[in-house]
Chains A and B, each alone.
Chain A
């Protein structure tokens, strides 16, 4: 019952929304599509759902070519970023609507709707209209409608993006439980790397209409295959610089130099691009071998238990993210320590050649 995209692409006029993509999504998995706005997440989902036809390539489900099969016949569900419900139906009728269309008996509809409403804690609101609910409850209604019909594929397009912080956390905790034990393929689009890490499962990183990498989430996070994938899967943005490896030393600019660690041991001498995650640049020096860098502080944000410092590094803005409160004056020079063993090295084509997360 796997969903397979075979060399699928989507062009609209002169614009290419999805470059040739091949993906296999297994049943019972939680798949995250991670990418910025306009990376092609929504288009990819519409192709999976059958709402859009691919310009080229084929879509297979459970061993059958479903490329030309209408969306109504595909047994998929979709939840959008905007809270989409049928305004003229009650919550009950909203949840029941896909079952009614499918011609299921009233008694079974009733038990399934109540079960879904129970799961999403909507039972007291079943008689109300969507407009009388809070944003969180409206989105719960949409999710209930998506799970009630036992779809083969459930597509969630940034479902939490329009919710406020508190409701988002709440629903984010519940989501994996809703799908646990179901044999369906869940696809979840998000712009936030932290959500991908939270859900685990598998992640596909998307950039400008291309899937740059696909695999188990932690694997993708630890071993981004390209600089692009590393960039997509980092928030705040990953820090990038040009370095040279000369005689067992890594040289960054004219001042910073450190002994080659295990990250770059196997590399030949030459020019590389280095990428360092923000939380591997910290104000305190621990026990591990670290390189020390200095930069003029541009912005210093202290949020709760975390310090985020944006500083100038040889003309580029770098970010340091650390636990605890580390106040820095804007304009002063910050001395920061880089966990060099945790850095990534990419060659001139942007492919990963060294480094471990």
Chain B
């Protein structure tokens, strides 16, 4: 809690007060830092960009992972266990490894500096994670449910969308949460693959620190705002996460 308090504390101070000396609470309480961020496009566009690629990434990852996870949980096919493990190993590589190939590839195909560039690069890590989480939830649903639906006359996709997805809603919530969080906190790829138009908030923050000296108050306010989306997402999926832990996959 201390660093969070200190961040909030700093965000309501002027930069001069922060540098002036040690104080447990803001003596000259000010909203100027927040006002600046919320009115200056070079600041708030950072949030918009970040949220844009995070949402694209989450939707993309989970919707690709759903059928894949279904295949892993319901069918036995040649090399399924190896493929499942290989998917997970993608998750083990540091993002830096992929920064260069992505940069080069996206520059070639004209995706560079778009939200899609970041969203697509993050799927490399998030799809395996989402498949892994969803597979656990799906395997907890008896295959008899699928069979009952088919016997009742449901086609595969009708069953999948109308019955199966609502049944594993908790798992989808958990998978979305993890995709969102990874994409939200990942900096290296997001920074490398964008320049101006799609610059994420984390990149905006580091640049401000280096150009116009240290605007610590402003930086602290930006940091505080960055915590909000995570907190909001956690609030919405907290019950699902608890269930996810109970099912032993998260």
Q: Measuring CB to CB, which residues of chain A are less than 8 angstroms from any residue of chain B?
A: 46, 49, 51, 71-72, 76-78, 80, 82, 84, 86-89, 97-98, 101-102, 142, 145, 149
B163 within 8 A of A: yes
Q: Nearest chain-A residue to B158 (Cβ)?
A: A101
Contacts of A87 in B (CB 8 A): 166-167
Is B167's CB under 8 angstroms from A76's CB? no
Contacts of A72 in B (CB 8 A): 150, 153-155
Contacts of B167 in A (CB 8 A): 86-88
Rounded to whole Å, the gap between the CB of B132 and the closest CB of chain A is 23
Q: A84-B144, A86-B163, A87-B166 are in contact. Are A97 and B150 (CB under 8 A)?
A: no
Contacts of B155 in A (CB 8 A): 72
B108 within 8 A of A: no
B80 within 8 A of A: no
B147 within 8 A of A: yes
Q: A87-B167, A88-B166 are in contact. Are A102 and B153 (CB under 8 A)?
A: yes
Rounded to whole Å, the gap between the CB of A116 and the closest CB of chain B is 14
Q: In the complex, what distance in Å separates the CA atom of A71 from the CA atom of B153?
A: 7
Rounded to whole Å, the gap between the CB of B156 and the closest CB of chain A is 9
Is A76's CB under 8 angstroms from B151's CB? yes
Rounded to whole Å, the gap between the CB of A173 and the closest CB of chain B is 25
B110 within 8 A of A: no
Contacts of A97 in B (CB 8 A): 152, 154
Q: A87-B166, A88-B163 are in contact. Are A101 and B142 (CB under 8 A)?
A: no
Q: A84-B142, A84-B144, A84-B145 are in contact. Are A98 and B166 (CB under 8 A)?
A: no
Is A82's CB under 8 angstroms from B144's CB? yes
Report, nearest first, the 10 A-B pairs whose CB atoms are least far apart: A88-B166, A101-B153, A98-B152, A80-B144, A78-B151, A84-B148, A71-B150, A84-B144, A72-B153, A86-B163
Contacts of A46 in B (CB 8 A): 147
Count the A-B residue pairs with Cβ separation under 8 angstroms: how many?
53
Q: Nearest chain-B residue to A75 (Cβ)?
A: B153
Is B151's CB under 8 angstroms from A51's CB? yes
Contacts of B166 in A (CB 8 A): 87-88
Q: In the complex, what distance in Å separates the CA atom of A97 from the CA atom of B149?
A: 9
Most buried by A among B150, B155, B163, B167: B150
Is A49's CB under 8 angstroms from B152's CB? no
Rounded to whole Å, the gap between the CB of A295 and the closest CB of chain B is 44
Rounded to whole Å, the gap between the CB of A257 and the closest CB of chain B is 54
Q: In the complex, what distance in Å separates the CA atom of A77 from the CA atom of B148?
A: 8
Contacts of A76 in B (CB 8 A): 151
Contacts of A145 in B (CB 8 A): 152
Contacts of A78 in B (CB 8 A): 147-148, 151
Contacts of A88 in B (CB 8 A): 163, 166-167, 169
Known: A80-B144, A84-B142. 8 other contacts (CB 8 A): A49-B147, A72-B155, A82-B142, A84-B145, A86-B149, A87-B166, A101-B152, A149-B152
Most buried by A among B145, B151, B163: B151
Contact indicator per residue, chain B 125-167, by CB within 8 Å of chain A (1) or not (0): 0000000000000000010110111111111001000010011
